[in-house]
Amino acid sequence: MRIYAGKILELQSDYLGRSSAWIACPTGAIPAPGQYLKAHAPAITGEVLPATLFAAENSAQGFRTASPNPAEWQPGTELRLWGPLGNGFRLDWNVRRLALAALEDPSRLMPLIVQSLERGIDVTLCADGRLPPLPASVEVAPLNAMPEVLTWADFLAMDAPLLKLPGLGALLGLPPEGYLPCPAQVLIHADMPCAGMAECGVCAVPTRRGWKLVCQDGPVFDLHLLEWR
């Protein structure tokens, strides 16, 4: 596991009014779409567990966080960054039409959107509620449009909380024994306090090959490997 030095450049409110941080770090520390980092601020003595960070936006100097920051973080705070950790999204070279689905916050999908558009891939995002600023070329649809969107897409990438996995079949409009019309991957959002170092089991997810850990074996999984029906 690589350890990098990082620094909080500024704090800003995201589209939901939460605190989001721009973090300066080496290029190698910037997580790929779907990967995460662990971050610890040595100067903050009350910080017990490191924070889990996903990227919402990347730059040549670092990245902006996709999840709320610890309240104690301030501009100028020095960070120790572990990672990048876990498996990210893996799009085949022949993907041309990408469907995205966010069951809660789409922010963790934003780097995948940018990467896909740079490859010339058409992107449709299915989500409800408020959305972050999106490129003009991204089409937007509600979650209940997923069955129709899947007839168009040749790949599906999702962001879903661990507790909502059992309802994915109904969301996707599939009968009990139905199959997805295209390959699909899902970023499972779960508490990952130990980042795989202690195998504490908090983020355990059922799969066709037994229980796996989101922090180690994910956070991105091929959907057909999960027990989600």
Regarding whether 145 and 185 lie in a shared domain, the answer is yes
Regarding whether 194 and 105 lie in a shared domain, the answer is yes
Regarding whether 108 and 199 lie in a shared domain, the answer is yes
Q: Does 62 reside within a domain?
A: yes
Q: Does 213 reside within a domain?
A: yes
CATH number at residue 50: 2.40.30
Instruction: Look at 19-28, 29-38, 134-143, 197-206 and tell me which has the smallest mean pLDDT.
Output: 197-206
Regarding whether 73 and 7 lie in a shared domain, the answer is yes
Rounded average pLDDT over 151-174: 89
CB 63 within 8 A of CB 55: yes
Regarding whether 177 and 65 lie in a shared domain, the answer is no
Domains contained in the chain, number:
2
Regarding whether 122 and 14 lie in a shared domain, the answer is no
Question: Which is more confidently placed, 198 or 113?
Answer: 113
* pLDDT at 119 exceeding the cut of 80: yes
Q: Does 17 reside within a domain?
A: yes
Find all residues with CB under 8 Å of 156, minimum gap 6, and list them. Answer: 98, 99, 100, 101, 150, 180, 182, 183, 184, 185, 223
Rounded average pLDDT over 181-199: 82
Regarding whether 126 and 58 lie in a shared domain, the answer is no
Q: Cα(183)–Cα(190) distance, rounded to whole angstroms?
A: 23
pLDDT confidence of residue 60: 86
Range of the domain at 17: 3-85
Find all residues with CB under 8 Å of 207, minimum gap 6, and list them. Answer: 221, 225, 226, 227
Strands 210-213 and 204-207 turn out to be antiparallel
Rounded average pLDDT over 128-156: 94
φ and ψ at residue 127, rounded to 5 degrees? -165, 155
Q: Does 90 reside within a domain?
A: no
Please state, rounded to an integer, the average pLDDT across all residues of the chain.
90
Regarding whether 78 and 142 lie in a shared domain, the answer is no
Q: Does 92 reside within a domain?
A: no
Q: Cα(138)–Cα(117) distance, rounded to whole angstroms?
A: 9
Regarding whether 121 and 218 lie in a shared domain, the answer is yes
Q: Cα(119)–Cα(61) distance, rounded to whole angstroms?
A: 22
Q: Does 91 reside within a domain?
A: no
CATH number at residue 178: 3.40.50
Regarding whether 221 and 187 lie in a shared domain, the answer is yes
Regarding whether 218 and 133 lie in a shared domain, the answer is yes
CB 216 within 8 A of CB 205: no
pLDDT in tens, 49-69: 789 999 999 998 999 999 778
Q: Cα(181)–Cα(201) distance, rounded to whole angstroms?
A: 32
pLDDT in tens, 205-219: 988 888 989 988 989
- Greatest mean pLDDT among 7-16, 168-177, 195-204: 7-16
Regarding whether 119 and 75 lie in a shared domain, the answer is no
pLDDT confidence of residue 76: 95
Percent of the chain with pLDDT over 90: 62
Q: Does 201 reside within a domain?
A: yes
Question: pLDDT category, 196, cuts 50, 70, 90?
Answer: low
